[in-house]
Amino acid sequence: MKIHGTAKGGALSKKDFGVAFGGTPADFGEKLWESTDTGEEEAMRGVEVTIGGERFQTGHTLIGATPLKILFNVRATGTASGTAELKLINSSGVEKTSFGTIDMSELTSSFSTESFENASNTETIANNDKIVFYYDGDCCFRFQTCASCSESGTNVSFYSVVTSGWTDRTTVCTMTVYGNAA
């Protein structure tokens, strides 16, 4: 597993530098929520779908929580290029915080669990906020979802360049969120 991100803008803090070279790890709080079911995947293609991830609604355990570390199962296919940045955005699509980027050249065609971190985040998850990837490449960045699961208060959500709008699925992303509870 590789670690992506840290503070917004990608600069390593002294805390992060210490972790990279054997120091004390950053405090990422407790495991707040996890969806481990697999079986499906969602493809992001820069020419059609540029934003994708998970939407959280009233009643979900993450509402009011502060995410600090997010694990996602991701992979690249075909001639994947560019980068994907994991962000927390509000219901209007405005960025609240970033958890870092991943370059497609770092991924293989097999799923790997990648860690996206921002130990200094103070933003909480509100109703209809989304944890999403912004993908700037052509083809094809993929993240794993469950095949037939569903959970109250959450679902996969995509933004399409073609339709200029959001589309929700009934499935859930395969992901783990660490941080501070509400």
Average pLDDT value for residue range 101-108:
91
Residue at 43: amino acid letter = A
Which has the higher per-residue pLDDT, 81 or 64? Answer: 64
**Can you give the pTM of this predicted structure?**
0.83
Q: Where are the domains of the chain?
A: 3-20+28-180
pLDDT of residue 88: 97
Alpha-carbon gap, residue 127 to 123, rounded angstroms:
13
Sorted by sequence, the CB contacts under 8 Å of residue 32 that are 6+ apart come out as: 61, 62, 65, 67, 177, 178, 179, 181
CATH code for 3-20+28-180?
Answer: 2.60.120
Residue pLDDT, tens place only, 117-144? 999 999 999 999 999 999 888 778 888 8
